[in-house]
Amino acid sequence: MKRHKNGLLLLTFFLLAVVFLSMVFQLEEFNQKKTVKIVFIPKVQDKTNDFWMSMISGAKSAGKEYQANLTILAPEEENDYQMQKQYIEEAVKMKPDVIALAPIQYSEMTDTVRKIKEAGIKLILIDSKIDEDLEETYIGTNNRNAGLQMGKKMRDYVNKDSKIAIVSHVKGSSTAMEREAGLREGLGDYEDRIEAVLYSNSDYRQAYDKTKELMRDHPDINLIAGLNLYSTVGVARAIKEMNLNREVNIVGFDNDIEGIQYLEEGIIDTLIVQKPFNMGYLGIQTAVESVRGNKMEKNIYCDTEVITLDNIYTDENQKLLFPF
């Protein structure tokens, strides 16, 4: 009788274990097939800016491939962090599985971003970081290393009389701070040649106007660094219009058709080119994989390439500069 009872208990435990494992496998299968709801909030949706449009295109491509329910909310101007904060709060109310965010400010948005985690929503950061570790994963350029690349390349254009200006983008953004820090490190002993640091607020016109004013006030400036696409193109427009391309070297970040034309004309000497399509694609792919329970790396970096007139026409760089 005792053996019979023990046999029944073992059979019961065995059946319960089978049921439990079956439920686990079914849950895992459900998570793998579940449509993941994602809200992507880039810094801007600006059809004149190839960098952000390429990133958004990459996000849409991954959303389609992984059959995600993807919503995109974005300010009209890259420096409008107050509007981006409103979009974050709106996204939280939508109760998605994941919010993918490219934060405009490093420290001014942290309280709002924290609401994502408090709501139990996963957070993926793309392109930029904030001053608190809230994200599952960061995907983007290692901006300090990219700035270091830029600073080292700028040394090629430095002479004994060189004076340098930096035209950055949004003051207080992680990308602006990290790129400038890397640039200064890359310049090494030539860092003391920096005469001015200006901010374009990610606006072509402001970059253009401030460059013209800079050259009127400091006509001995002969090397300018533009730290994003708006700044780089705005600087190039001003230098071209003032017929200073023989006197002033420009090293810039990012690329679009206009920037590439300036490189071909010799207005811009070097471009540090990121891979925004990859960032957008990997951001949404990572968002989906995180919901499905897959362990993700804390930081996923996308390489940058140094593009000059000497290597612009290689097959590899043509694919990078003209991905569509």
Judge: domain 37-141+275-302, CATH 3.30.2020.30.
Answer: no
d(CA 287, CA 277): 16
Asked if 176 and 273 touch (Cβ cutoff 8 Å), the reply is no
Residue 292 has what pLDDT? 93
- Other C-beta atoms closer than 10 Å to the C-beta of 242 total 15
pTM: 0.86
d(CA 200, CA 168): 6
Q: What is the pLDDT of residues 50-91, one digit of tens each?
A: 999 999 999 999 999 999 999 999 999 999 999 999 999 999
d(CA 223, CA 196): 11
Q: How far is CA 256 from CA 53, 104, 149, 320, in A?
A: 11, 21, 20, 11
Q: What is the pLDDT of residues 78-126, one digit of tens each?
A: 999 999 999 999 999 999 999 999 999 999 999 999 999 999 999 999 9
Please, what is the Cα angle at 60 between 202 and 30, to 5 degrees? 135
CA proximity to 248, closest of 149, 163, 151: 163
What value does the CA radius of gyration of the chain take, rounded to a whole number of Å? 25
Q: What is the pLDDT of residues 198-236, one digit of tens each?
A: 999 999 999 999 999 999 999 999 999 999 999 999 999
> Domain map of the chain by residue range?
37-141+275-302, 143-273
Q: What is the pLDDT of residues 244-290, one digit of tens each?
A: 999 999 999 999 999 999 999 999 999 999 999 999 999 999 999 99
Asked if 172 and 108 touch (Cβ cutoff 8 Å), the reply is yes
CA proximity to 310, closest of 270, 274, 258, 267: 270
CA proximity to 108, closest of 123, 88, 94: 88
- Other C-beta atoms closer than 10 Å to the C-beta of 172 total 15
Furthest-apart CA atoms within the chain: distance in Å: 103
d(CA 249, CA 307): 14
Q: Does this chain's domain 37-141+275-302 share its CATH topology with 143-273?
A: yes
Residue 197 has what pLDDT? 98
Residue 164 has what pLDDT? 98
What is the architecture of the domain spanning 143-273?
A: 3-Layer(aba) Sandwich (3.40)
Asked if 112 and 85 touch (Cβ cutoff 8 Å), the reply is yes
Q: Coil, strand or helix: which one is 165?
A: strand
